[in-house]
Amino acid sequence: MAGTFSGTTITVSQIICTVDMTCAASSGVIYNLNGGVISIDVAGGATLNFVSQGLGSGTTGGYVKSGNGVLALSGGTYTGGFTLSAGAVVVRSVNALGTGGSLAINGGILTSNGVRDMSGKFSGGITIGGDFQMGALSSAISLSSDSGSIAFNNNMSLGGSTRTITIGNNGTHTFAGVISGNNATTGLTIDALSGVTGAIVLSGANTYTGTTTVKGGTLICGANDVFADASDIAVTGGTLSMNTRTDTVKSVTLASGTISGTTGVLTTTSDYNMQSGVVSAVLSGSVNLAKTTIGTVTLSGVNTYTGTTTLSGGRLVLSGSGRAGSGNMKLNGGTLDLSSYTANSGTYTLAASQTLSGNGTITGAAGKTLAVAGTFGSATGNAGIITLDTVTLQLSGASIVKFTNGSLTLGTYDLVTGTAGGGTESVVFGGTLLLDFSGGSYASFSNLKIFDVDSYSGTFTNISYIGLAAGQSAVFNALDGTVTVVPEPESLALMIFGLAFMFILLRRRQDGNA
pLDDT reading at 25 higher than 50:
yes
Mean pLDDT to the nearest integer, 443-459: 95
pLDDT in tens, 70-107: 999 998 888 889 999 999 999 999 999 999 899 999 99
> Cβ distance 503 to 475 under 8 Å?
no
Mean pLDDT across the chain: 91
pLDDT reading at 258 higher than 90:
yes
**320 Ramachandran zone, left/alpha/beta (phi>0; psi -120 to 50):** left
CB atoms within 10 A of CB 498: 10
Report d(CA 118, CA 176) in Å as an integer.
11
Write the DSSP symbol of residue 382: S
Comparing 395 with 498, which gets the higher pLDDT?
A: 395
- Choice among 97-101, 119-123, 150-154 with the minimum mean pLDDT: 97-101
pLDDT reading at 503 higher than 70:
no
- Choice among 172-176, 190-194, 273-277, 493-497 with the minimum mean pLDDT: 493-497
Report d(CA 118, CA 68) in Å as an integer.
24
Closest CA to 116 of 135, 139, 140: 135
Closest CA to 334 of 300, 278, 367, 296: 296
Report d(CA 96, CA 82) in Å as an integer.
9
Q: What is the pLDDT of residue 4?
A: 52
Q: What is the pLDDT of residue 408?
A: 87
> Cβ distance 229 to 208 under 8 Å?
no
pLDDT in tens, 197-228: 999 999 999 999 999 999 999 999 999 999 99
**Residue length of the chain:** 514
Q: What is the pLDDT of residue 1?
A: 41
pLDDT reading at 508 higher than 50:
no
Report d(CA 471, CA 439) in Å as an integer.
17
Mean pLDDT to the nearest integer, 25-52: 80
- Choice among 6-10, 352-356, 470-474, 492-496 with the minimum mean pLDDT: 492-496
Mean pLDDT to the nearest integer, 274-286: 98
pLDDT reading at 441 higher than 80:
yes
SS3 annotation, 134-198: ECCCCCCCCCCCCCCEEEECCCEECCCCCEEEEECCCCEEEECCCEECCCCCCCEEEEECCCCCC
> Cβ distance 135 to 171 under 8 Å?
yes
Q: pTM of the predicted model, to two decimals?
A: 0.91
Q: What is the pLDDT of residue 439?
A: 82
Report d(CA 166, CA 140) in Å as an integer.
14
Q: How sure is the predictor about 13, in pLDDT bands with cuts at 50, 70 and 90?
A: confident
- Choice among 237-246, 358-367, 467-476, 498-507 with the minimum mean pLDDT: 498-507
Q: How sure is the predictor about 231, in pLDDT bands with cuts at 50, 70 and 90?
A: very high
Mean pLDDT to the nearest integer, 368-372: 98
Mean pLDDT to the nearest integer, 266-279: 98
User: 482: which residues sit within 8 A by CB, 6+ positions away?
Assistant: 447, 448, 449, 450, 476
Cα-Cα-Cα-Cα dihedral sign, residues 316, 318, 322, 328? positive
Q: How sure is the predictor about 512, in pLDDT bands with cuts at 50, 70 and 90?
A: low
Residue 89, helix vs strand vs coil:
strand
Q: What is the pLDDT of residue 421?
A: 76
For 455, counting Cβ atoms within 10 Å of its Cβ (0-12 exposed, 13-18 middle, 19+ buried), the class is exposed
pLDDT reading at 422 higher than 90:
no
Sheet bearing 54-55, strands edge to edge = 10-11, 29-31, 54-55
pLDDT reading at 271 higher than 70:
yes
Comparing 293 with 21, which gets the higher pLDDT?
A: 293
> Cβ distance 321 to 347 under 8 Å?
no
Q: What is the pLDDT of residue 52?
A: 80
pLDDT reading at 476 higher than 90:
yes
